[in-house]
Structure 1
Amino acid sequence: MNYQLLAINIDGTLLRPNGRIQSGTKEAIDYVKDKGIYVTLVTNRNFLSAKKVAKALKLESLLITHNGAFISSSLDHPIYQSRLAEERAFNLVQVLENYKCSIRLLHERFSIGNRMRMPRNLISKAVFGAGDPLFYPMQFVTSLGDYLRDNPLAPQKIEVFFSSGTERAEAVRVLKENFHYVNLVEVDERSLAIVPKGVSKLTGLKTLCNHIGIPIDKTVAIGDSMDDIEMIEHAGLGVAMWNAPNELKKAADWVTRSNNQNGVSYMVKEHFRKQQRVEFLRKIKIEK
């Protein structure tokens, strides 16, 4: 199989644990781009944050951000976006404010969060866990419910960080019973992402593939977390990082090194060195 698109998750995959790009990754991406492979980033980050990473890698491609809810190469001209309606976002916040949690409503241009009395290390994880750069405006208010009554907002996503796994489990149960118009992405034992029904990294990848005319079975997807599993299962070649959960590794076709051991560049160079340039394959009519 000759692949035409490479989709890479950011946090835990493309980036090392310290938040820096893995050694050799830029060269590896340049290597596959030179072979005519379309390279994109698929992430739960907001668009501005993902764009900063893409710029460092010299990628000008369409990016799949907000867990698949916003796909674009520029802030003003998305090819796809999905939002939680204002009333629905308000109703979700009304329920979530009954739990001990940090809540953030993410718009492509800014985020609004609640002020919570939580240990400093948990607050830092809740606010900066998604790798938001300082240029992405973040506003904090005492009561999100009160704020939204006067300032309705239709966000791409709601991120929630709970004080305990028990709190998250109870909130998930209530949300599943009462809010059938959302997808709940259980990031880890304390974190939850809420996106519109039908939105996921997989549907984002399929939307991008349809837009640029590449079949899903001609894609390679690399990820490290459970919200990557559907994308990895449906891609032509699904790749899990060594630092990924065992369930994700079992679902993958290939398990590469960890994000601390240059797993992305290792996999890319090992696999794509065997593949001819897409232009050459089309020229000799191996690819149509």
Structure 2
Amino acid sequence: MTAARNSFHSKMLPVRQFTHNGQPPLLTKPAARAAGTSIGLSRSPLQQVRPAREAARMYFMALATDYDGTLADHGTVSPESLEALKRFRDTGRKLLLVTGRELPDLKRVFPHTDLFDKIVAENGALLYSPDTEEEKPVAPAPPPEFVERLRAKGVDNLSVGRSIVATWEPHQKAALEAINELGLELEIIFNKGAVMILPTGVNKATGLKAALKEMQLSLLNVVAVGDAENDHALLRSCGCGAAVANALPAVKDTADFALKGERGAGVEELIERIIAEDYGFCANSLHQVQIGEGDDGPVSIAPPDVLLIAGSSGIGKSTLATALSERLREKRFQFCVFDPEGDYEDLEGAVTVGSGSVTPTERQVLELLANPDENVVVSALGYELKERPAFFAELMSDISALRARTGRPHWLIIDEAHHLMPAPRDSASLALSDDRSGTIMITVHPDSVSPTALSAVTAVAALGPKGREAIETFCAAIGEDPPDGLDEVRAEDEVLFWRRSTEDQVQRIRVEKPKQVRKRHTRKYAEGHLGEDASFYFRGPENKLNLRAHNLIMFLQIAEGIDDETWEHHLRAGDYSKWFAERIGDPELAEEAAGIEEDRSLVPAESRKRVAEAVRRRYTAPASEKD
């Protein structure tokens, strides 16, 4: 019997059907998964004219199918369906069977369990690995007194598994009475006449999640298919849900779309669509990430996209990236942030590896990313600027392999992309994979980023008064003409958004704002390694010295030891306030330093003391505190 499903989730909306011409379905399901037409784009991301790229990374990595009434017809799976399952596995994807049957009963009627990577039996209560024959209960055994009470009430058509107790209608009344009389935390799940009793909260969705955790896969990368009441939770939990043509009407309402074929024929149809189109056949709004709001409505990016966020320093690029990270968390996407400057060490919902004094290791990052529910910030602040591309390339090689195997992390956020993927390095030395979808690159200098990386960009968000120049610089770097619409006047709080296609011109949008209060991250400037162009140089009169301060702590140490003449030379020239304003990006510190510079009554010892106090007040103490 198939596993029963709860009906306690969101309200149902129209189902989406396949069309005869092979185009993506047009109607979507629940409000939370409204169609791509509701996201403010003229067409879905995969229908956009996108830059030519190598074969795309697989997005839907696994199929989870119900057994009775879905894959099987009266308990039997056809040879055609078995061949379709084999074709699916040959693509490198995974197969999971999710059924309400008890395992011995399933093995009796279905001798091909070895086709599946995992089997979730007893409606989510038992995991079975066909390759090792390991059985792993994920729910407690049924209380003996409950089974005895049912039999005492005349329920003779009874089956007892490792966790499940199953019977048929109309014995649900006796089961409910027994549960209440004994005060048990059990619930009844229906499945086309079957009555299944399980511990509260155990269903096909929870069982599938437990199986996927062992396989290091995310629910977002799974397509599920079913037919009966006990499949509602399963279909809602996955990245895409399908219903075979013989499914109950309520199940079709829950699904993203209904298949044309019944039972095994429907599963075969689904498999062919996944192999042929992958993400494109089910691009529902669950996978869309809103970046902002335009005149025509919300503007979003999707897993096939590569977004470039560009603009001058201090204009809000990392703020937008933070807002996008929040949207990714809301959508259950896993993300990994490459953070060369220490701007994201306080990012909510993510674990930071590395700091200004400790360099991260590949093993640390990969161990965290092995858990689909864990987001990671990789801080490269402890590396010298020249060391960062090599570290990034080495780590990217492993992460690309992880993405090819699991589809995760779903999104990579690469800050200061010109540091990590500099233009002079070729794609081989950067270890860039053929497909770079699901990536957000952030930079001040698009022309300093590897052309190979830029060629994959599908959309650009340009911030600040120099947004036009940023898009023009990007276009020059990839050898394309700038888009139309750059000359139009825009409001001060608007961002230029351009999707690289043959039809769309630049839009003016208001971008998402982060909910979390972003702290100014002091480690970047207090302990990190600022680049040569951002460091302070104590040179003194006639350039007698050349002492480089690559962070604020080093600045204070050098300032304490240099002679008065060198200190005064830079003080009277206003060099300290200029560095604080232009390179550190702290106007308040710059203003305080300018006041000290202008006070001619201060002797060198006193001016040093006041500048040092101003720096330590803002940076040194916070940098040593735990965030």
Same fold (TM over 0.5): yes
Query: Which secondary structure state, in structure 1, belongs to the residue aligned with residue 273 of structure 2?
Result: helix
Partners in 2 of 1:280 and 1:83 — Cα distance?
30
Does the Cα contact within 8 Å between 1:15 and 1:259 map onto a contact in 2?
Answer: no
Q: Aligned ranges for residues 189-200 of structure 1 at < 5 Å?
A: 189=193, 191-200=194-203
Work out whether residues 14 and 259 of structure 1, in 8 Å CA contact, stay in contact via their aligned partners in 2: no
Structure 1 residue 3, shift from structure 2 partner? 0.7
Distance 2:115 2:109 in 1: 9
1:36 corresponds in structure 2 to 92
Q: CA deviation at 1:286?
A: 3.5
Report if aligned partners of 2:64, 2:224 keep a CA contact under 8 Å in 1: yes
Structure 1 counterpart SS, 2:157:
strand
Per the normalisation by structure 1, the TM-score is 0.70
Q: Which residue of 1 aligns with 2:159?
A: 104
Q: Which runs of 5+ in 2 are unaligned?
A: 1-57, 280-402, 408-432, 440-627
Q: CA deviation at 1:47?
A: 1.7
Counterpart residue number, 1:22: 78
Aligned amino acid, residue 437 of structure 2: I
Sequence identity (%) = 21
Asked if the contact 2:107–2:113 (Cα under 8 Å) also holds between the matched residues in 1, the reply is: no
Where does residue 234 of structure 1 map in the other structure? Answer: 237
Deviation of the 1:91 alpha carbon: 2.8
Q: Which amino acid aligns with 1:71?
A: L
Could you tell me how far 1:105 is from its partner in structure 2?
Answer: 1.5
Contact 1:9 1:42 in 2 (8 A): yes
Deviation of the 1:81 alpha carbon: 3.4
CA distance in 1, matches of 2:85, 2:133: 26
2:148 to 93, 103, 106: 93
Q: Deviations over 1:127-182 (max 9, x none)?
A: xxxxxxxxxxxxxxxxxxxxxxxxxxxx42111124xx3xx353254245344421
Counterpart CA distance in 2 for 1:209 and 1:94 is: 36
1:54 Cα deviation after fit? 6.3
The CA RMSD measured in Å over matched residues stands at 3.0
CA contact (8 A) 2:212 2:218 kept: yes
The 2-side partners of 1:261 and 1:13 are apart by 6
Whether 1:259 aligns to 2:262 is yes
The reply to whether residue 181 of structure 1 matches residue 181 of structure 2 is no
Shift of 1:33: 1.1
Q: In 2 relative to 1, CA 287–101 (structure 1 residues): closer, same or farther, beyond 3 Å?
A: farther
Q: Does 76-85 or 250-259 show the bigger shift?
A: 76-85
How far residue 15 of structure 1 moved from its aligned partner, in angstroms, is 0.9
In structure 1, C-alpha distance between the alignment counterparts of 2:172 and 2:405, rounded to whole Å: 50
Aligned residue in 2 for 1:2: 59
Residue 159 (structure 1) aligns with: 166
Deviation of 1:48 (Å): 3.0
Residue in 1 aligned with 2:127? 71
Matching residue of 1:218: 221
1:61 to 2:113 alignment: no
Give how far 1:21 is off: 1.2
Q: Say which SS state the counterpart of residue 214 (structure 1) adopts.
A: coil
**Take 2:256 and 2:112, find their aligned partners in 1: how far apart are those partners?**
29
How big is the shift at 1:39?
0.4
Residues 278, 33 of structure 1: CA spacing in aligned structure 2 closer, same or farther, 3 A cutoff? Answer: farther
Alpha-carbon distance in structure 2 between the residues aligned to 1:6 and 1:267: 9
Equivalence map 1:108-187=2 (5 Å): 155-162=162-169, 165=170, 168-175=171-178, 177-178=180-181, 179-187=183-191
Q: Name the SS of the counterpart of 2:145 in structure 1.
A: helix
Q: Secondary structure at the match of 2:191?
A: coil
Alpha-carbon separation, structure 1, partners of 2:188 and 2:97? 21
| Structure 1 residue 280: Cα displacement | 11
Looking at structure 2, the residues matched to 262 and 273 of structure 1 have their Cα atoms a distance apart, in angstroms, of 17
The answer (yes or no) to whether the contact 1:232–1:238 under 8 Å persists in 2 is yes
Give distance in 1, aligned partners of 2:154 and 2:406. Answer: 57
Give the 3-state SS of the residue equivalent to 1:195 in structure 2. Answer: strand
Q: Which residue of 1 aligns with 2:68?
A: 11
Q: Deviations over 1:173-194 (max 9, x none)?
A: 42453444212112234x3111
Q: 1-side partners of 2:219 and 2:238: how far apart?
A: 6
**Residue 197 of structure 2 aligns to which amino acid in structure 1?**
I
CA contact (8 A) 2:150 2:175 kept: no
TM-score, normalised to structure 2, is 0.34
Cα displacement (A) at 1:249: 0.5
> Taking structure 1 as reference, are residues 176 and 283 closer, same or farther at Cα in structure 2, changes over 3 Å only?
farther
Cα distance, 1:62 vs structure 2: 1.7
SS of residue matched to 1:186: strand
Q: Secondary structure at the match of 2:167?
A: strand
Unmatched runs of 5 consecutive residues or more in structure 1: 107-154
What amino acid does structure 2 have at the position aligned with 1:13? T
Q: Within 2, Cα distance between the matches of 1:184 and 1:268?
A: 32
Alpha-carbon spacing, 1:64–1:260, altered in 2? closer, same or farther (3 Å):
closer
- Separation (CA, whole Å) in 2 of partners of 1:280 and 1:227: 27
SS across alignment from 2:225: strand
Question: Equivalent residue for 1:129?
Answer: none
Q: How far does residue 40 in structure 1 lie from its aligned partner after superposition?
A: 1.0
1:28 positional shift:
1.6
Secondary structure of the corresponding residue to residue 275 of structure 1: helix
Describe the shift of the 1:49–1:174 C-alpha distance in structure 2 as closer, same or farther (beyond 3 A). Answer: closer
Superposed displacement of residue 76, structure 1: 5.8
Name the CA distance, whole Å, in 1 between partners of 2:213 and 2:149. 37
The structure that has the greater radius of gyration is 2
From the superposition, tell whether residues 182 and 283 of structure 1 become closer, same or farther in structure 2 (CA, over 3 Å): farther
Pairs aligned (count): 232
**Separation in 1 of the partners of 2:136 and 2:159?**
24
Residues 65/222 of structure 1: CA separation in 2 closer, same or farther (3 Å cut)? same
Q: In the aligned structure 1, how far is the partner of 2:247 from the partner of 2:116?
A: 28
Q: CA deviation at 1:101?
A: 4.5
- Residue of structure 2 aligned with 1:284, choices 435, 448, 457: 435
Amino acid aligned to 1:286 = S
Instruction: Determine which of 266, 270, 274 is the counterpart of 2:273.
Output: 270
The change in CA–CA distance for 1:2 and 1:256 in structure 2 (over 3 A counts) is: same
